[in-house]
Chains A and B, each alone.
Chain A
Amino acid sequence: MGGVITTHQAKQRSAKRRLIEGSPVMKWLLIAISVIFLGTFLLLPLVNVFAQALSKGIRAYFQSLTLPESVSSIKMTLIIVGISVPLNVIFGISAAWAITKFKFPGKTLLLTFIDLPFSISPVVVGLMYVLLYGLQGQLGQWLDGKDIQIIFNVPGMVLVTIFVTLPFVARELIPIMQSVGVEQEHAALTLGASGWQTFWHVTLPSVKWGLLYGVILCNARAMGEFGAVSVVSGHITGRTDTMPLMVEKFYNDFNSVAAFSLSSLLALLALITLIVKTWLEWREFRDKTETKKPIG
């Protein structure tokens, strides 16, 4: 009897599956279209970066990575990222704290301004900074008199990178801190913790994964930023060239192996970003399904 029911149920299930999946021909046709599309536009370009970088052998690969221009561009990128990412982390935490823990007028406007950098073309960002700090403007003239140069120099490149990557950390933290609520912080304060203690031991641990997520996205974008940095850098080889800018220079000089070698480091960074991102999403998914299980 039981066996009859299970086969009946199994039949029903497979009938349902057929309904959802449609005919197998359709299924495999759709899968083929998707695989060809993603394969052509994602997998092939990725594999191609490494294939071209290694096309003249492993020695040529490391030789082009140790060229003085390459080394200085890697240093430049690390300096810019090392300044802009921590600043945006502090900003993101501060903005999320103000927005999620308190009520005040103009909150929506503030959120709009935090999102603004995502919708402005990087080239326009670079132009804005040239207009503000460049020598053709009054502020630029005044700063020049004080011997401070922002445009065609590192400070300008740091500033535009901060602009372009400003929303990432704040955008990740705000929804998480909103859903966590304020009860735990209130409890900590009632029990006699100071404001900073509450922040370090209650707030920060509850958002650490979201924070990490925001940081890796911010970092990836900061390392790869091209348009805005290109406009304000002045392209001084060995001094204001970041890795993406050096890739362009090598490409224009027909040094394909060097361009792809430097690119391979950036592609590797993108892969690491994807892996960490996937891992964090998997963690979140696991935590969610675990909390659904009854306790005990």
Chain B
Amino acid sequence: MSKRRNPLPGFGLSLGYTVMYLSVIVLLPLCALIIKASGLTLEEFWRWTTNDRALSAYKLTFGASFVAALLNSFFGITTAWVLVRYEFFGRRLLDALVDFPFALPTAVAGLTLAELFSPNGWLGKFLVPIGVQGVFSQLGVVIALTFVGMPFVIRSLQPVIESLDVEIEEAAAILGASRTRTFIFVIFPMLFPTIITGFALAFARAIGEYGSIVFISGNIPYKTEIAPVLIVMRLEEYNYAGATAIAVVLLIISFLMLALINWLQSWSQKFME
């Protein structure tokens, strides 16, 4: 018995074009980076990735990304819960606005946040006198990354909260559990895998962010310089080896995050069933 032939045309053309396009746009440049990186001696690679300036840049990049993802998780749980469960004036507007950080160019985000938190800005006016420096500081990096990563936790959680079985909460209440107890011991464990996935997505997005941060951080070496900014600095010195070495570190971490997120997503799917 022969397999029934797929009568649809265009397999060769569409697959051929897809593979060619991907090779030219994605694979070729990726190979250029890998070739350049493999041309570095181990000693060179080590020098450019572990000098003090690079180390403080990683520390800030990962530290600020972590804090921002944590903030987004906390406020994301609250916001997703409120948007799904409560009816109030302006709910639909807020819900639509959640995607704003995805749509707004990062340069504009950086510009307006830098202005808001500057000493004369709407928020800086009140915050700077009490010692909260939101501009040209590490806090500024956290602020920009919080903005950029905000939609992930909220958008991951909303469908999960919608699909929660209300009867479980009723049962908990009938059995005498308080609302807080129900949330901590019944609801939160059900949401946990999704929260972790949203956290990882926000964190991964924050690691590579550049546009918004150059405006708000001041890019001071050893203090507010993030890893992507350091790559640009090395490029401006025509130090291709230095730029490549730092880029490889970022790339490896991005790929590890990608693998982790894929695993988390399949885990949370299994968990839901």
Binding site for B on A (CB under 8 A): 16, 19-23, 26-27, 30-31, 33-35, 37-38, 40-46, 48-49, 52, 90-91, 94-95, 97-99, 101-104, 110, 113-117, 119-125, 127-132, 136-137, 159, 162-163, 166, 182, 185-186, 189-190, 195, 198-199, 217, 220, 223-227, 230-231, 243-245, 247-248, 251, 256, 259-260, 263, 266-267, 269-271, 273-274, 277-278
Contact = CB atoms under 8 A, between A and B. Distances in A.
Given A124-B247, A244-B107, A256 B82 contact: no
B244 to A, nearest CB: 7
Contacts of B108: 49, 224, 244, 247, 263, 266-267, 270
A287 B67 CA distance: 41
Given A20-B85, A247-B108, A251-B111, A128 B32 contact: yes
Contacts of A48: 112, 115-116, 121-122
Given A27-B86, A104-B15, A260-B111, A163 B147 contact: no
B88 A263 contact: no
B6 A127 contact: no
Given A19-B170, A124-B250, A132 B96 contact: no
B210 interface: yes
A226 B96 CA distance: 24
A231 B26 contact: no
Contacts of A46: 97, 100, 104, 112
28 contacts: A20-B169, A23-B179, A30-B86, A31-B82, A34-B83, A35-B90, A38-B79, A38-B97, A45-B113, A45-B147, A48-B116, A48-B121, A101-B8, A102-B11, A110-B19, A119-B204, A124-B228, A124-B247, A125-B29, A127-B231, A130-B240, A159-B25, A224-B211, A225-B105, A230-B211, A244-B105, A248-B215, A274-B103
Contact of A31 (B75, B86, B104, B255): B86
Given A224-B105, A267-B104, A123 B208 contact: yes
B143 to A, nearest CB: 8
A246 B210 CA distance: 16
Contacts of B18: 91, 94-95, 98-99, 110
B208 A120 contact: yes
B17 interface: yes
Give the residue among A190, A227, A269 with the most B Cβ atoms within 10 A: A227
B176 interface: no
A137 B147 contact: no
Contact of B232 (A20, A49, A123, A185): A123
A25 B25 CA distance: 55
Contacts of A23: 179
Contacts of A245: 107
Given A35-B94, A119-B204, A166-B25, A41 B111 contact: no
Contacts of A102: 6, 8, 11, 15
A94 B13 CA distance: 8
Contacts of B257: 119
Q: Decide if the interface of chain A is mainly helix, strand, loop or mixed.
A: helix
Q: Which 9 A-B pairs have CB atoms at the shortest separation, nearest pair first?
A: A224-B105, A121-B208, A226-B211, A195-B9, A128-B29, A227-B210, A132-B32, A270-B103, A244-B107
Contacts of B82: 30-31, 33-34
B214 A248 contact: yes
B40 interface: no
A94 B17 contact: yes
B272 interface: no
Contacts of B255: 119
A43 B97 contact: yes
Given A42-B100, A120-B208, A270-B103, A21 B240 contact: no
B112 A49 contact: yes
Nearest to B27: A113
A212 B36 CA distance: 39
Interface in B1-60: 6-11, 13-15, 17-19, 21-22, 25-30, 32-33, 36
B107 A120 contact: no
B150 interface: yes
B235 A130 contact: yes
Contact of A256 (B22, B27, B115, B240): B115
A251 B108 CA distance: 11
Contact of B78 (A37, A224, A244): A37
Contacts of B208: 119-124, 227
B73 interface: no
A251 B75 CA distance: 31
B97 A42 contact: yes
